[in-house]
Amino acid sequence: MDRRRPEPVSYFLDNMLSKAVNSAFHRGALSARLPLVAATSQKRFLNLHEYQSLEVFSKFGVAVPKNMVVKPGEDVGKVYDAMGTECVVKTQVLAGGRGLGYIKENNFQGGVHVAKDRAHAVELGEKMLGKTLITKQTGAEGKPVNTLLLVEKFNIVSERYFAILMDRGSGGPLLIGSAIGGTSIEDIAAKDPSAIIKMPINIMRGMSEAQAKEMAEKMKFEGPKVDEAAKCILNLYRVFVECDCTMVEINPFAELDDGRVIVCDAKVNFDDNAEFRHKDLHAQRDFTQEDAREVAAKKFDLNYIGLDGSIACMVNGAGLAMSTMDLLKLYGGEPANFLDVGGAANEESITAAFEILQGDPNVKSIFINIFGGIMKCDVIAGGVIAAIGNVGLTKPLVVRLVGTNVEQGKKLLNESGLKIEAFDDFTEAAKKAVELGK
């Protein structure tokens, strides 16, 4: 549940990237020299917590462990009693590496623990619930722990990996499996590429029981476990298709010592384009786990991705945005964001965009680069003037306007009395933004 945007499977496997590539740009890993990633990543996908995904699986008949949740203010001890079994207490944040993370407020190590008894479960709740968990994927700011998941403790006999993703190469869903599980798929692929099983599914015909059984056998399930695993695979495919998922990843897909075959941990993304069909699912979106700037940008249909640099960019069109980031990088600067205001922006959305850029504490300069086509330069200029009137101008501003209504836009800016560095030349504007952003 800590994956935001899956890459095409062929790219994912052939390059053996991290399972978290789809959140790379939220962790600041996106380079301005990687425009393809930026372009494919403007779309936001619903990402559910583990406990929410397990609930969805249960509704579709997928075998999952017994589990219950605890929210702030609720009694961990009472939930532990209701479980009626030994439990593992797991923090619920949308980031990987929870087990190796730590609580920011008290430096308590680990976000996943086996509760020795009721008292220990209560103690774990006090140390983790309502706090902030920091992992290798969250950055130093961490993620708020608003929910704990209590899961039955069980003994795993063997672990496997299983996933379903949309694959451009095969033009539909692709099953990915391995008889080896419990570790990252890129590590499995690096050690033994032949351990990766790939099976494309015709999205029009759907998955057959024979295909599910074949996949289970290739993943080295044996005897009666083949049918149990195949049933889970079929039902996971139903989840993938009927819930409009972009990714379903199970690791581990485990066989237990009591004979069960269950989904132990899950990471699921849902396509936002299908929100109108799944309002109940999308209503569960946890905005506290997302970048507040991106949440604010989404309200105005702005394509925004926060990065770690010091030069804020406001551009219209993904191509111009990427070339702007590349040019800033070329001259020694670091972009603070990817922001495409699009062709339907108005004064209100431009004001919102400027407020987001202005409010970023890492930003040292702002570069507005507009090529007026559908979006008119005077609209951008009016939005900038209005935004500065509302929030002030505390950081150097470089503006380049070219195209539709450019003279009207320049006139508005010149008569505004604002301190703006204006340029006609793209390169000179980028150099100035870099100079002011250091």
Question: What whole-number distance in Å separates Cα of residue 342 and Cα of residue 66?
Answer: 46
Which residue in the block uniquely carries the two structure tokens 């702002």? 366
Given 161, 237, 294, 304, the catalytic residue: 161
CB 313 within 8 A of CB 370: no
Q: Among candidates 338, 297, 308, 309, which has minimal Cα distance to 321?
A: 338
Given 228, 249, 255, 334, the catalytic residue: 249
Residue 161 is among the residues annotated as catalytic for this protein: yes
**Residue count (the chain):** 438
Backbone dihedral angles phi then psi of residue 250, each to the nearest 5 degrees: -120, 120
Q: To 5 degrees, how large is the angle CA 7–CA 310–CA 31? A: 25
Question: What whole-number distance in Å separates Cα of residue 297 and Cα of residue 290?
Answer: 12
Where in the sequence numbering do the catalytic residues fall? 161, 249
